[in-house]
Structure 1
């Protein structure tokens, strides 16, 4: 039971004989306070120097504990003690300080519980688990210091709001389960999860805390003691049985139940009744209590709260998966959610209910297999030019109304056709089949339009691309030219049905996608699409504008213009036209609405919203290859590499021969640290296009990421044979690999030649990035003035926010904070998430170099809440190191090493940055040296091995000295 003041778990002196199989024995709440000190408990506590206070009651704002922790304010008080906001003067940061009541501080059981909280919580490193810093003792006070969360506990939110929206409840519990999953993977079971132990900060980040009653499943069972808070106990806890991770999952269901309905399912008048009900009863499903609760979400709760652990989810990760499926973050897999149960009833009973059980657990029908389709050029027998190339995109859109059908890009098909048959003028049915067979496309659709009296006749047929057999035919008559537009969806209906679409109504459907008011608008739009995909942006603007002139409500034409202007770097025009597209969204199909909103959010840099739109798109249209590809990109910029990999694979599964999407998959593997997987995917890409320089770049960076930098140089040489872009990137790659080895003089020589070549080719961005690499080299060589000059050149040449961030950080290291702050101000004025995060990083590093670690840590954390970047972890680690916060520094550098795939191309822009990786090993050595760990020597040695052939810079000399002293 919980103390009504502070929610601290108590042991209640009650025994209730419920029945022969369910007896609950509860321990005494009056803990024996005369027990002698237990040395094994006492030894865990850090002794802080004698301070100014002698009792918890003396702790007022301004009080100092052990000459280290200055009390700022009381956050809460309860039966076990009090929690304060305090300033740690030693490492200059604000912490939460949990102080045990002096009269309880001598109790070994209490001390063991607090020690347990530290030991087990420190095993868990996860963004959704609160960080415990230390145990301490001073002047007779025992306390824990932990991460301070600026937010509210979940209990207060529920009390205030009554209940949460299904969306909010699911998002919160998804984060709770992610934190629990991290704990369970460390064999730690919480055992006292409840809304009071779940914090939600101002940005919506959720943290699980209070592991005081947690135990390690590696240490044996916990049967015989009733521990926890009765309202949130599992049945096995209530019966004092051994518990495992599935006990926490029952509690997850209880909490989600309360968030959705506003009530606790097993509420009763007495403690015995509360515990008994969860042992013998099954709570009504949330959807039965409140029919507005989505059934799928209600089913998740029901499964969590199964009385038998074997019938629940078996891991928190499974709950995360189902919550993400419900939220539209991921697409559901084909696996069963519910397991078939083993029934131990008599044969006669099985016979009676067998049909119902089989029906309930029957596997749902599998999703329709993806069908890829290429629409060939329709034969225009009317002699009217406006019909040339106009009907094909209309028909493709109508076909894509089926979720499993994906139309192959016709412009891409034309480009492939010119390779298959040089000089070919049109994409007729025979050429389209050749392209389809080469690209693995299942179906080719051919068509024709002709005059029919005063109207028009349109006919199509679907062909098996491999053998040319006709699969289906369809034709329709349009009484007027304008009626052709509205006849296309009817023309597509029989073809869709023949390919397996069961949703097609026999009634005429609403035309799919763009409902242009005239054929002229549709014709201009199709011309704009082709020009855009060929990179002919001026022509694309002309055609899209003509489409809008013919139909001012043509939403897709505005969207096309917005994307073209975005590609040209004209942000204001892009935003203007995408907003106009959104204002016409009612004229679009469901699929195109998601695409348009996704494109808008990508432009805005709001990758969270872009992720939501594309996730919804592929949930409804799982065969939308571009949807999966764009969802992967959104995940990438949110630094969710596993999700990017998953979506990238789905895009490639749909179009195995799409070179661009396969390259992206190799990049996601690279950034995720799967270097062998990245090389495999790059090889697949090169098999499709042997001259694709960026696939060779992936191979080279994967070699360096694997620690085989010498093998990257031949690959960079290969890139130099693959055109101007390959030459420019290879130059930067070679220089970066030399800097990785510490060979600064050679790197500078390579970069000078590369900059000259870039400027000759008017490649300002390439030259700018090389100037930044040169500034890095000059700093290694301790030539600050030359580093500043190189940064000046990079900034003058211009570039995006990644160049501005890199330049600002180099300026700070070179002692030029004013120049860094000027760049920071430009970034801070941007509305997109990434530039704002970068401005925070510059602020944080500025604070760090001004010897203000507390302000620096706060700014780094604010940046991380916007975007969790690799460079943010690296810089924060250095800040902690300088503050002698060695555990925190080690955590950050350990994360950098685990995420080293991101470091090979920090800004995901094909600009190698492997030069940062050896520095991580150096800093890991220093942090572990500060912790007294023998592993420090291994880190220093690994760093020196990499730099063995380079110039002895300051870090090399320092590492040698530290290693020799060990």
Structure 2
């Protein structure tokens, strides 16, 4: 049967029909294989004059693999012989060589190192690291399937290796269990980087063929489209699926049938095959297996971050791999069996448009370039340097050093690295491995500079050359070239000094500025600088924990590295919000910053201001922090927290319009500034402009879709606005797009509580407890809140009693401590003062296990809660004594004035007990913004004071705070038990207020809502009986 002329594929064997084939030329078969190399090496023989053969490890489509002793370096390595050169054309060999040169740069503990491609005795060969162990395929066959914890542990290591390879531009393209080695130390090692990509050309496989293993190929590989790191993410998703279920998502009789399934069929939910798989892990796997690569994780780092969250919720005992015997690399699958590797390539072209979408979302038009600096100084951006040495990262180190040193020249205005990174983010190029001249020009134009500095670092024999070019941004012409030479990598510092002087002289009107030695304001250690540089890259991506580890290494190498200490202090602080949390111990960050101050003579003038601003923040001195922030911005130094320090000052002063202006200015300077969108949204929310707040948050989500805070803020402000369905939608959307964000199960449940759907909420909390052992304490506590809000206090108490023990089991000392407080509050609500006081004391005892330094605010909290308990018993004198003790503890421990909020909250309740509502209101007026923002006791006391004085509208406004201002349950001075109890009573209280104002219809509506919520409440709750009585009197 002949194929019709218009056919693309053979109707019999599915081989692609090549239209360029000459008449009579035979068709390449889909089952075509690469012939094995004819050479066979005997044990004890020597190959290429240096490789003594120890044993043969395996044979496959590419040839044979041997374990050899390299006599030149004195180590065991693996040697892979390729088929003879006659079957590889020149272009294929050149491409193969280039790919392996690139793959050779991947050096990571989770990657098997590729060494070289060589030729000897008429045979091509590859040398690589020899690894002793077994491959993942063997392990799966031996144990059937891995536990979720074991699978996640392996996958995380693979992600680490992939991340490093992808950073260097290397995509594996044939990731599979056979290519993942588990060595004797338990490390996962990725094998054969660079080979599959090298084999994808026509010279090796024939036209229309594609290299890859069908069972693990991404849909775009099946179609023959361009692939990137997301193709490796897909393959890793298949491997994860196989690890936890014991089978692959797609199998078939032929390579083509399997490829077809990858392209068109939906994989079965892995939970149907293994019920013990957590929902979060199943969702993560299915996200990796999305057909559209844009819907997958965008990077190995993003995938690894979610895996880490899932791993944290799994029992520790699950994470160890099964014991295995040691085997040699003979057991690694080294074959490239092209019966399964080659499938027809479907030629379909796809174009990615993520940047266009981003620009549309955040403003609908292309952002305009920034206005040029108005100082009159020469403006400069140090853009990029090409690294042509064998030392990775030398290019970024050069950029950092040049930016730092040139910024010391008073005649120059140098744009910060952070600012340039922010512009790259806006363009969607923050992860670009190389920056072309056109992109550099675009970034410099947007930065508003007139000149940019680019260049290269070249290693020629024993010499290192640093070449820099000054380029006029507007015309593109080179206005100056600078060259410095060295003999070793450590000469980079001196070479930067030389370039600094030459650039300064040229841009400074011929004036020479000598003596600016960059080591004086950074470090003289290249190793310390390398750790510091990597840490800065991570901090720009908000990965503070990883950055902190690198910065600790930097200061170990150079104990006088001032800015490494400064950034370490910031990383230890984690987020700026931490300074507002009264329970966060800032001692470690303060101690670190003291070292930055000690060595601050080794920092630039601008960096010293950054140190001062950080110190003010750590001292919770918001006013001075904002002052330093303004000084930094006035000097055109856009430090990471400068704008936020100013915005937080406006927030604290309740200057929300000023805050809006500041946030908009931050966004104008950096349209990707997520914290600015967040601050803008909360300013709008405090002005009750919820549509504007949600619009800002939707832009925040669009700009930073992988930041969990985006959805958290949208969820929270939706609750503020009373849009409970929207809050629930944001929580579910977060779970759908990021399966590892398991805490959003809790968010969804809390939204359902606000909707008076207690049983539906409990379903979400039970799922959280079932699937995430690390969240069991939180889930139990949330279950208690759901029962409490339904008036089922006995069941609530049962769940609250479970929470501290579960937190203790998981080593969550802060949670354990706070659960004791909240449990005591639950007893206090029921009138059991003795039990309440005992729980408050238990919280203080637990705090001694939590805090490692002298800082401990829990004695203040205990006195606040105990004082309120005393008032419940009518013991006003003891409550007054508790308030006085709060002031004494603050003074003795040198705590900031903000901690007086604990006293003000107690004194307000004392005034109410004394029937002095005006005194209560005056005392509440002395409390900080943060108490107003986050304490349910503040609003409960204010509601009572306003109601006593007959100010019904003001009292009603206070009671409405408990219908969605969720910050009263989860931030700073929070108390979720008090908040959700008041939520359960809100309609009852609002009904009473409506009655007093003569609004019978509103009163009836509130009482009906209250009684509907309380339909299964415990008997004996007086408000329930009173609501029924009042409703009857209103003529329901």
Q: What TM-score, normalized to structure 1?
A: 0.50
Relative contact order, higher structure (CA 8 A, sep 6+): 2
Q: What TM-score, normalized to structure 2?
A: 0.47
